[in-house]
Amino acid sequence: MLVQTEVERVKFIVRSYIRTRLFKIEKFARYIMTNPEVQQRLSESEVEHARRFARLTDQHFYHSVLQSLPETQQTLDDQPPFVPSMVTEPDKTRAVFVLARQDCPPVRLPDGTALDMRKGHISLTPYSVVEQLIARGEVELV
């Protein structure tokens, strides 16, 4: 009975992880499709899901709203001055938990202080601060 309970707990965690990952892929589908660097970090099935989701939402917006607008305003890629982009991008100032996989060079926090991360150290920092460390594999998201 204890083993079965543990198996159910692990299944719940895996499902929760997959749900969260799919939510993020759907939320940033148009951003993923316009950024080849991000596509390289995803599996083939995840990129395909983002492609289909972006196409479906584009079709939905066109049929429900955009077709009623003047022809010059019927696209979602417009970037007029002083108006935010229509493509939702991830917020890189948002805090994330990271685990240092090795001793890392000091990183500069937004308030000007330096953070020294040793192997095994877990930190809560803005994503933009540790983005390069994640790309190099020196830290990983928790």
Q: Is pLDDT above 70 for 82?
A: no
CB-based contacts of 112, cutoff 8 Å, min separation 6: none
Q: Is pLDDT above 90 for 20?
A: yes
Calculate mean pLDDT across residues 75-93. 74
pLDDT value of position 79: 64
Calculate mean pLDDT across residues 120-134. 91
* DSSP state for residue 97 in the 8-state scheme: E
How far is CA 122 from each of CA 4, 48, 60, 110, rounded to the nearest angstrom?
Answer: 31, 33, 42, 18
How far is CA 112 from each of CA 102, 108, 116, rounded to the nearest angstrom?
Answer: 23, 6, 13
3-class SS of residue 34 = helix
* Domain extents in the chain: 1-73, 95-141
CATH number of 1-73: 1.20.58.1030
Share of the chain above pLDDT 90, in %: 58
Which residues share a beta bridge with 124?
A: 97
Instruction: Please state which CATH class domain 95-141 belongs to.
Output: alpha beta
**Could you read off the pLDDT of 32-48 as tens digits, one per residue?**
998 999 999 999 999 99
pLDDT value of position 61: 86
* Amino acid identity for residue 16 in this structure: S
* Amino acid identity for residue 78 in this structure: D
pLDDT value of position 70: 82
Confirm if 141 and 100 have CB atoms less than 8 A apart. no
pTM of the full predicted structure? 0.75
